[in-house]
């Protein structure tokens, strides 16, 4: 065992939870170390999650524009996909952002080392490098930010070629001819939107009765309608039983609720059925950290059951698996660790974005949840078909739906499906944070012509005063 170093705070993991926590810890004047097992900083989000997928979605969108160039009066006779160039651009984007994290660490005097971190006792962790050499580090406070991995199960192990998770699919060396996607959650529908537009025949198999099952029911219905219209296959209530490798790829067997068995053959199978927390083999079994189905239980300041040990991000129990939540939790944890006052995360005001085509975004209660919570619900809804900017863009699908309480106009939830709605949800988050009412949203002047006018019009629609519909 090599020498022991001492820090005010050590953060294990450099995803959007860990690296943001580290920067804030540096800003707070704490001597900070980040331990990252991979050879680059940034975690799932930067390397195999948020960033590369959004980059590929942009490629797919550009390709779509070429396909529809005629509509915009542009004659474009020859165009094709250069997959290697697409992959190279993705790498450039990711590398630039990873270098940005390195720069921010330097700027804020955050140290980082490559190695596998484990908790070994109060105020102590070990770091094992690629050569197997282990050193001990002392830390007044420790933040666990080890994130999550794609859930896999026996018979569906990724092989890098035919059976894929979010990692392997991003490293494919060609656009597959066909793909079955298990799971119509955010990851499943985003990859469906990428590969369908790049020319892959996509079929999604979802066990639950609807796609994007955590969203408002009307949002799911609109997405399903759009997917079917686009030609993306979607089977709901389809229980996948088996994946059998074939000469041309994989045969995926599934059953319907009536017990009828069916199989689809495709070149590739993407398993997108959720995430498992990275809480094994980090020493927690010897600690007082409490787990719930593998996820770490924390208090509102992200403290675990082990004094001085915090947990943030994807490995936290009951926390949505989102980069911006991980980052916010990281700020709460290190600010608390520094002994400074901090407001806990308000999980009722977390924006959810799914970057499929059409995009989805939401915050707060769905209509069903609001009714079940006993609210007298007032709904305001406005279709993008009646929004001038959506018509200019040639993207008229979808709507904005505001769920409010009839008594005082409290905004309970905002749900959107349509063009660029992931860029629009922050307005609803800000309004809810400021305890604005649906009337406040209606009377806030929105610029014309923008998609955001649909939010204002949906707020007007809550009182049947929408102007353009």
Ligand X SMILES: Cc1cc2nc3c(=O)[nH]c(=O)nc-3n(C[C@H](O)[C@H](O)[C@H](O)COP(=O)(O)OP(=O)(O)OC[C@H]3O[C@@H](n4cnc5c(N)ncnc54)[C@H](O)[C@@H]3O)c2cc1C
CA distance 36 to 14: 6
When binding is defined by CB under 6 A, the residue of 12, 142, 219, 403 that contacts ligand X is 12
Minimum separation from the CB atom of position 113 to ligand X (A): 9
Taking CB under 6 A as the criterion, which residues in 183-212 touch ligand X?
187
Q: Of 181, 354, 171, nearest to 271 (Cα)? A: 181
Instruction: Identify the three-state secondary structure at position 86.
Output: helix
When binding is defined by CB under 6 A, the residue of 7, 116, 156, 195 that contacts ligand X is 116
Q: Which is nearer to ligand X, 311 or 441 (CB)?
A: 311
**For ligand X, which stretch binds (CB under 6 A), given 32-40, 57-65, 381-389, 454-462?**
32-40
Residues 6+ apart with CB under 8 A from 403: 216, 364, 365, 366, 367, 370, 377, 378, 379, 411, 412, 413, 414, 415
- Asked if 314 is part of the footprint of ligand X (rule: CB under 6 A), the reply reads yes
Q: Which of 47, 448, 463, 468 is catalytic?
A: 448
The conformational region for residue 23 under phi > 0 = left, psi -120 to 50 = alpha, else beta, is alpha
Instruction: Identify the three-state secondary structure at position 135.
Output: strand
Which token pair is 152? 């896999």
Minimum separation from the CB atom of position 44 to ligand X (A): 3
Q: Which is nearer to ligand X, 137 or 441 (CB)?
A: 137
Q: Which is nearer to ligand X, 37 or 89 (CB)?
A: 37
Q: Which is nearer to ligand X, 13 or 383 (CB)?
A: 13
For residue 273, the number of C-alpha atoms closer than 13 Å in the C-beta half-sphere is: 19
Minimum separation from the CB atom of position 14 to ligand X (A): 5
CA distance 469 to 465: 9
Minimum separation from the CB atom of position 94 to ligand X (A): 13
448 has catalytic annotation: yes
Residues 6+ apart with CB under 8 A from 369: 413
Q: Which is nearer to ligand X, 186 or 466 (CB)?
A: 186
Taking CB under 6 A as the criterion, which residues in 33-62 touch ligand X?
35-38, 43-45, 49-50, 53
CB 33 within 8 A of CB 111: yes
> Which residues on neighbouring strands pair with residue 204, listed in sequence order?
181, 234
Site string for ligand X, 284-313 (x = CB under 6 A): -----------------------------x
Q: Which is nearer to ligand X, 128 or 255 (CB)?
A: 128
When binding is defined by CB under 6 A, the residue of 23, 142, 145, 400 that contacts ligand X is 145
CB 318 within 8 A of CB 8: no
Identify the residue whose tokens are 């689809």: 264
Which residues belong to the active site? 448
Residues at the interface with ligand X (CB under 6 A): 12-18, 35-38, 43-45, 49-50, 53, 116-117, 145-148, 166, 187, 278, 282, 313-314, 321-324, 326, 355
């Amino acid at each position: 065992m090599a020498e022991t170093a001492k820090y005010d705070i050590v953060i294990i993991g450099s995803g959007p939870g860990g690296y943001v926590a580290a920067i804030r810890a540096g800003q707070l004047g704490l001597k900070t170390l980040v331990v990252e097992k991979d050879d680059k900083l940034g975690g799932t989000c930067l390397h195999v999650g948020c960033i590369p997928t959004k980059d590929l979605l942009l490629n797919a969108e550009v390709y779509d524009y070429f396909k529809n160039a005629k509509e915009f009066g542009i004659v474009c006779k020859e165009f094709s996909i250069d997959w290697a160039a697409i992959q190279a651009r993705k790498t450039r984007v990711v590398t630039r952002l990873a270098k940005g994290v390195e720069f921010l660490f330097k700027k804020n005097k955050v140290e980082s080392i490559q190695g596998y971190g484990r908790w070994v006792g109060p105020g102590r962790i070990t770091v094992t490098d690629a050569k197997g050499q282990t050193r001990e580090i002392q830390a007044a406070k420790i933040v666990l930010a080890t994130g999550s991995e794609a859930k896999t199960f026996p018979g569906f192990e990724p092989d890098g070629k035919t059976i894929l998770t979010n990692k392997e699919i991003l490293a494919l060396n060609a656009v597959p001819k066909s793909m079955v996607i298990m799971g119509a959650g955010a990851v499943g529908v985003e990859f469906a939107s990428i590969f369908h537009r790049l020319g892959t025949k996509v079929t999604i198999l979802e066990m639950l009765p609807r796609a994007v099952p955590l969203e408002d029911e009307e949002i799911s219905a609109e997405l399903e309608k759009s997917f079917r219209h686009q030609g993306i296959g979607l089977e709901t209530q389809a229980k996948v039983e088996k994946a059998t490798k074939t000469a041309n790829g994989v045969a995926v067997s599934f059953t319907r609720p009536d017990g009828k068995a069916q199989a689809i053959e495709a070149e590739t199978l993407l398993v997108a059925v959720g995430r498992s927390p990275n809480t094994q083999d980090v020493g927690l079994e010897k600690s007082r950290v409490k787990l719930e189905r593998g996820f770490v239980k924390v208090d509102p300041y992200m403290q675990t059951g082990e004094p001085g040990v915090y947990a943030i991000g994807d490995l936290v129990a009951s926390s949505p698996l989102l980069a911006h939540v991980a980052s916010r939790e990281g700020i709460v944890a290190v600010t608390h660790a520094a002994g400074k006052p901090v407001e806990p995360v308000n999980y009722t005001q977390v924006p959810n974005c799914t970057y499929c085509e059409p995009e989805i975004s939401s915050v707060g209660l769905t209509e069903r949840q609001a009714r079940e919570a006993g609210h007298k619900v007032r709904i305001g809804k406005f279709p993008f078909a009646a929004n001038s900017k959506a018509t200019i863009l040639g993207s008229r699908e979808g709507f904005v739906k505001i769920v409010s309480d009839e008594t005082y106009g409290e905004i309970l939830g905002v749900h959107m499906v349509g063009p660029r709605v992931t860029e629009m949800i922050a307005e609803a988050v800000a309004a809810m944070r400021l305890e604005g009412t649906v009337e406040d949203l209606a009377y806030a002047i929105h610029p014309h012509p923008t998609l955001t006018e649909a939010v204002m019009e949906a707020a007007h629609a809550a009182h049947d005063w929408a102007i353009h519909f």
